[in-house]
Structure 1
Amino acid sequence: MERKFQRLDDEHEDKDTVLGFPCSMLKVSDFMKAVKEGLQPVGLDQLRNILNKRGGIPGNFDQWYEQGVNLEFLKPGAKGWKTGKLRIRITLELLPDEPETEEIPASNELGASKLESPLDDLRQMMPKDS
């Protein structure tokens, strides 16, 4: 079975997950905030410079990373151009060295003598002779 990177949700589910690097520890939400702040002016300016030879790109940071930039797009096999918005999303992905396993409740551990049944109480109330 191939192990795959798992997306970390920095706004909800994984926002309080702590990332430990050799030199620091940060919550996923704080790390992503720093990444987004670091890419704001410099990253968009670099992208703009790279694409200037092809006509450049419109919009500012908020448009690209939050609201989306208006555009037209043409997909192969489509009957014509369509309109929409395009935005940049930055994600963190995690690949644990060991796959996560579900914790087994104490009643199901190897040391348990037997599984409990909802009928056990009724069986104890029945006379042994029958």
Structure 2
Amino acid sequence: MVENSDNQEFVVLKGEEVVELDEQIYKYLGLDGNNFKYLYLINYQLISVIQRRVDIRNNEIKNKLFYDDYDGLECEVLKPGAKSWQKGKIKVELNVKFYPDESEEEIKENESSQSENQGENSGDNNSEEVETEVSPLDDLRQKFNQENQ
């Protein structure tokens, strides 16, 4: 899902995307990253951490607001133009929105131009370089290996 806010498009993370948080951010959220420079959380883990940080002291109210296992908090809502209040329940749903530096089209264009360049270079019979598919997790693996050394 892509929306537009202040002329900057964002994507609502829904699945099991991995989010990288630097040390300052994860410590602010009250997480222990064993003093690593980065902490990696799956999207739903990040949402859970943010929900726990909301300063609602009454757990029953907090559960009813945030968690699907609960019905919500009873309330009344007055909508513009309505003649009376409407009874119902409220729930809070958190979404993590990601503002990419490059659009999906730009990423695909860069990948296609890189593969064209590799294709031109692979015609060289003297080249012993073996082509391997680049994984989006390679950067993550490299950072993890550097931090563990």
> Normalising by structure 2, what TM-score?
0.48
What is residue 21 of structure 1 aligned with on the other side? Answer: 21
Distance of 2:64 and 2:21 partners within structure 1? 32
- The total of aligned residue pairs comes to 88
| Structure 1: segments with no counterpart, 5+ residues | 49-58, 111-130
| RMSD (Å) for aligned C-alpha atoms | 2.9
Distance of 2:9 and 2:108 partners within structure 1? 21
| Deviation readout 1:38-89 (Å, 9 max, x if unpaired) | 32xxx123xx9xxxxxxxxxx6111111321111111121121111111122
1:78 is the counterpart of 2:82: yes
The SS at the match of 1:4 is strand
Distance of 1:73 and 1:31 partners within structure 2? 30
Distance of 2:21 and 2:65 partners within structure 1? 29
| Structure 2: segments with no counterpart, 5+ residues | 23-37, 117-149
Partner residue of 2:56 out of 23, 29, 44: 44
What is residue 46 of structure 2 aligned with on the other side? Answer: 31
> Normalising by structure 1, what TM-score?
0.54
Deviation at 1:18, TM superposition (A): 1.1
What is residue 61 of structure 2 aligned with on the other side? Answer: 60
Question: Identity percentage over the alignment?
Answer: 22
Bigger radius of gyration among the two? 1
Q: Which structure has the highest strand share of the two?
A: 2
